[in-house]
Homo-oligomer: A and B are copies of this chain.
Amino acid sequence: MAARERVTIREVAARAGVSPATVSRVLSGNYPVPPATRTRVLKAARSLDYVANVHARALVGGGRSMVAVILRQVTNPFYAQVAEGVEAEASDHGRLCLVGSTGGDTRREMELVQLMREEGASLVILVGGIVEDDAYRARVTRYAHALQGAGSRLVLCGRPSSDPALPAIVVEFDNEAGAHALTSHLVSAGHRRIVFLGGLPGNSALDARVAGYRAALTAHGLADEDAHVIDCGLGRGAGHRAMTELLTRRTDFTAVFAGDDMVAAGALRAIADAGLRVPDDISVVGYNDIPLAQDFNPPLTTVRTPAEELGRAAVRLALRDSEKLSAPVHHVLGTHIVVRDSVGPPAPHREARSTGGITPHDSATASDRPALPAAP
């Protein structure tokens, strides 16, 4: 089949015996047209399989604008949920939604923002914390102004604004409070030696969790030297590697605070591989409560960050003060702990800093595991 030319409004007009203007009026539906001609035009359009050209329409100001989400990777369940929330809310507002992923590459992020700007997206939503440096912050500032100049609006989702005066909407969680609560939960269960697995210096979300973890430790009268942060970054693989390594080096911690649920997944596997059990030997907690966290072994205690709601809030807020160019909006969503089965009382044999009280589980390696050092 040959690629016949696209049928235009003019052909429909000819077929219906009216002018293009009339066809436009019928199709746009924003102008009263007598039922008689209306029907005639509609029939002509249908018989020709006419579809309006969005470019022409957009050019002249008619086109529906869409909302764009830009995130690191779609395979991360948390990001995916945020995207789904954005999608849902956008759909409720009759907007189409597109998601682009950067793979952590700032160049690609820049291209994507640019592309969205070109397409005339009315909303560009940047999701998730990246590792920020000054150059990056400067770029976000440029995005915000450029987008505003083009009549659209930037939303920072799940991360703080680098500059409160930025013409951007920010929607995020209180990661510090969440981490504080989760750490307290661990302390309440009796844990004193808790390692934070998955720090990522420069990433605002992780930095906040680490801060909450440290603050909670202090609040419970533990010395700062009891804090131990392993900056292995995020992801299941990173969690698995770091935990495996930690297990061969130390024996005196009783709980692990994973930077997020994927890190927790890797850590759980590493612990199982080492022949230890959760929570009998070591307690583990995660962060985000991804849908499959309840299917881990054991079901994971974690903090629920309503990802989908984050996405929904982003577009709701942005659309609400649409065209108003009001003062920068800042919205913080609450989180709460979800208690499942990965936390128990500390294992007595792991509490002491000496290597006394060895069990069959770690007898093979316990003797060459040094105690936790003070934080740097």
Chain A contact residues, CB within 8 Å of chain B: 1-4, 6-7, 49, 51-56, 58-59, 63, 66, 73-75, 77, 80-81, 83-84, 87-88, 91, 96-101, 103, 108, 111-112, 114-115, 117-120, 142, 145-146, 148-151, 167, 236, 265, 268-269, 291-292, 294-298, 325
Interfacial chain B residues near A54, Cβ < 8 Å: 55, 114-115, 118-120
A276 and B212 CA atoms in complex are apart in Å by: 39
A222 shortest CB reach to chain B, Å: 31
Tell me whether B265 and A295 are in contact (CB under 8 A): yes
Given the contacts A55-B55, A83-B74, A295-B292, A6 and B149 also touching, CB distance less than 8 Å: yes
Contacting residue for A3 out of B88, B97, B148, CB 8 A: B148
Which 6 residue pairs of A and B lie closest in terms of their CB atoms, listed nearest first?
A: A297-B297, A3-B149, A54-B118, A55-B58, A55-B55, A75-B80
Taking the closest CB of chain B, its distance from the CB of A367, in whole angstroms, is: 31
Residues of B within 8 A of A296 (CB): 295-297
CA distance A354 to B241 in the complex (A): 49
Residues of B within 8 A of A83 (CB): 74-75, 101
In the bound assembly, the distance between CA atoms of A53 and B98 in angstroms comes to 18
Alpha-carbon distance A98/B124, docked complex (angstroms): 13
Inter-subunit contact A119/B117 (CB<8 Å): no
Which residues of B lie under 8 Å from residue A51 when comparing CB positions?
Answer: 114, 117-118, 146, 150
Residue pair B96, A112 in contact (C-beta under 8 Å): yes
Q: Contact at B151–A6, with CB atoms within 8 Å?
A: yes
User: A112 contacts which chain B residues (CB < 8 A)?
Assistant: 96
Question: With A59-B55, A151-B6 in contact, do A103 and B91 touch (Cβ < 8 Å)?
Answer: yes
Shortest CB distance A340–B (Å):
12
Nearest Cβ on chain B to A229's Cβ, whole angstroms: 24
Q: Which residues of B contact A167 (CB under 8 A)?
A: 1
Collect the chain B residues with CB atoms within 8 Å of residue A80's CB: 74-75, 80
A99 touches B96 (CB 8 A): no
Please measure, in the bound complex, the distance between the C-alpha atom of A41 and the C-alpha atom of B118, giving whole angstroms.
19
The answer on a CB contact under 8 Å between B291 and A236 is: yes
Tell me if A75 and B66 are in contact (CB < 8 A): no
Q: List 9 A-B contacts (CB under 8 A).
A: A2-B325, A49-B142, A51-B146, A52-B118, A54-B119, A75-B84, A75-B291, A265-B292, A296-B297
- Distance of A119 Cα from B80 Cα, bound (Å): 24
Q: Is the CB of A74 within 8 A of B99?
A: yes
Known: A49-B149, A54-B114, A74-B84. 14 other contacts (CB 8 A): A1-B148, A3-B150, A49-B146, A51-B114, A73-B84, A77-B77, A80-B80, A87-B101, A91-B103, A97-B100, A99-B100, A99-B101, A265-B292, A295-B297
Q: List the B side residues contacting A7 at CB < 8 Å.
A: 149
Contact partners of A87 in chain B: CB under 8 A = 74, 101, 103
Docked-complex contact B53 and A56, CB < 8 angstroms: no
Q: Which residue of B lies closest to A105 (CB)?
A: B91
How many whole Å from A277's CB to the nearest CB in chain B? 12
**Nearest-CB distance from A64 to chain B (Å)?**
8
A120 touches B55 (CB 8 A): yes
Please name the residue on chain B nearest to A236 by beta carbon.
Answer: B291
A101 touches B115 (CB 8 A): no
A115–B96 CB distance below 8 A:
yes
